[in-house]
Amino acid sequence: MPSAPTMIDPVWAWQPFSPTANEPWDRTLVAHLFRRAAFGATPSQLEAAVAEAPEAVVDRLLQTAEESSSFRDESDALAATLLSTGEPRQLAAWWAYVMLNTPHPLLERMTLFWHGHFAVSAAKVTDAALLLEQNRTFRRAALGEFRPLVHTVARDPAMLLYLDSATNRKARPNENFARELMELFCLGEGHYSEKDVQELARCFTGWEIKQGKFRFNRFQHDGGEKTLLGRSGVFPDGEAIDWILDQPQAAVFIVGKLYREFVCDEPAPDPQLLQPLADEFRKNDMQIAPVVRRVLTSRLFYSAHSRARKVRSPVDAAIGLLRTFEGTANTHRLAADLQQNGQGLFFPPNVKGWEGGRAWINSATILGRANMAARLVGDEKMRFGGGTLGEYFARHGAVAPDQVVDLAATLLLASPLPAKRRDGLIDVSRNSKDPARRAADVLRALATLPEFQLC
């Protein structure tokens, strides 16, 4: 069970991490950063980053905020082909492909973060084109400003259809979107009243979708005075959204979610620990990149409070495993595997998104992850850095059983591999003389261990 919150000094926590003789900037810390921010590091990325300063590495990950055009062209072309079928499951395969191949993994991670935050499921919204458009919105804003993102989402056709706002009429307002806007998107439960929900729903009456596009229908809009979060007014256009975001709680709520995304699953942070981040977020017009940068360069992030304190998501497990060894994959199969393991892309479980942490893990997903890893590394048609898995390991100096195990553990594991498990894995690697088979066996077994589920 989650342990009691530990008091962490907020001043210490958010100071920049600077390496010392006791806490060197080594492969362990670099691998930690890349696992959290970039779906893992390849052996070459690891070596290159160790030679740089931590902040330079983080800045380079963040620089990718503007997606490079050549990869975008490639991914757009692919999306267009898949969209012709209109099938949302094709989109999931497309996104898995993008995650696997993007030169901007942090941008993609944040896109996934917003998908989980502003969750819309293809189980209800079946128009793949609308879902793709929403996905592009998240990618464009992923490391940008939060306020315009909320305004865009409030007019986003997929969202309005998902939360029934598209049929929100003056005579009988539909509260669904209004409630979730405050509960799940901006403030958190308990920071508004039932009356606020009803009043906010009135503000969004007449916000409709016509032929896949947002349209304001003034005949269905309630233009009367409302009282929302202690202020009275008409709240035309999106003014209600601005008023919600002006609440100090909004910044606390969002940085709290970013904290959980990047720092640790548990325990929940003390409010005092979040306050400096929330202040900075407000001061910077709710820009996301500076907060992410602050977190990823902080002392807290490289400390024992953060390392190995998260449960790998299915995406982190699968994409991480593949990207670390530059692997290719059948992304249709991969998307189905992610769904099976509780993280169907475009199919979040409900409007709250994925709960994450311990909730990823149960008997079915433990077995499912083992089966997924076996498929990812066991498919002989797939290439790792252009060759077989055996060739890939050999190129990085790992040929003997213990070398194979140690390289895999260094790159993949957030916590030390117990000696007994290391011996067991070396035994597994002796099953086969074929180098590709041997490496695949080790990775498959490794990905089944409880230690692997930590990130």
Residues that bind other proteins (CB under 8 A): 1-3, 163-164, 167-176, 179, 183, 189-190, 194, 197, 265-266, 308-309, 311, 340, 342, 349-352, 355, 358-368, 370-371, 374-375, 378, 415, 418, 420-421, 424-425, 427-428, 431, 444-445, 448-451, 453-454
Which one, 97 or 185, has the nearer CB to other proteins?
185
Residues contacting 7, CB < 8 A, separation 6+: 270
Question: What DSSP designation does 184 have?
Answer: I
Q: Are 362 and 334 in contact (CB under 8 A)?
A: no
Amino acid at 24: P
Tell the smallest beta-carbon distance from residue 311 to other proteins (Å): 7
Tell the smallest beta-carbon distance from residue 341 to other proteins (Å): 9
Tell the smallest beta-carbon distance from residue 350 to other proteins (Å): 7
Amino acid at 377: V
Tell the smallest beta-carbon distance from residue 342 to other proteins (Å): 6
* Cα separations in angstroms, 399 against 157, 161, 396, 407, 437: 53, 54, 9, 10, 12
* Cα separations in angstroms, 6 against 10, 174, 272, 348: 12, 42, 12, 32
Which one, 102 or 343, has the nearer CB to other proteins?
343
C-alpha to C-alpha distance for 196 and 229, rounded to whole angstroms:
6
Which one, 168 or 297, has the nearer CB to other proteins?
168
CA dihedral 82, 86, 92, 94 (to 10 degrees): 10
Place of tokens 């002989």: 380
Q: Are 280 and 181 in contact (CB under 8 A)?
A: no
Which one, 66 or 427, has the nearer CB to other proteins?
427
For 41, list phi and psi in degrees, rounded to 5.
-120, 140
Tell the smallest beta-carbon distance from residue 164 to other proteins (Å): 4
Which one, 44 or 362, has the nearer CB to other proteins?
362
Which one, 160 or 411, has the nearer CB to other proteins?
160
Count of C-beta atoms within a 10 Å radius of residue 450? 10
Which one, 85 or 362, has the nearer CB to other proteins?
362
C-alpha to C-alpha distance for 441 and 446, rounded to whole angstroms:
8
- Cis bond before residue 24 (omega within 30° of 0): no
Residues contacting 437, CB < 8 A, separation 6+: 390, 431
Tell the smallest beta-carbon distance from residue 141 to other proteins (Å): 25
C-alpha to C-alpha distance for 196 and 175, rounded to whole angstroms:
10
Tell the smallest beta-carbon distance from residue 262 to other proteins (Å): 16
Which one, 64 or 165, has the nearer CB to other proteins?
165
Tell the smallest beta-carbon distance from residue 93 to other proteins (Å): 19
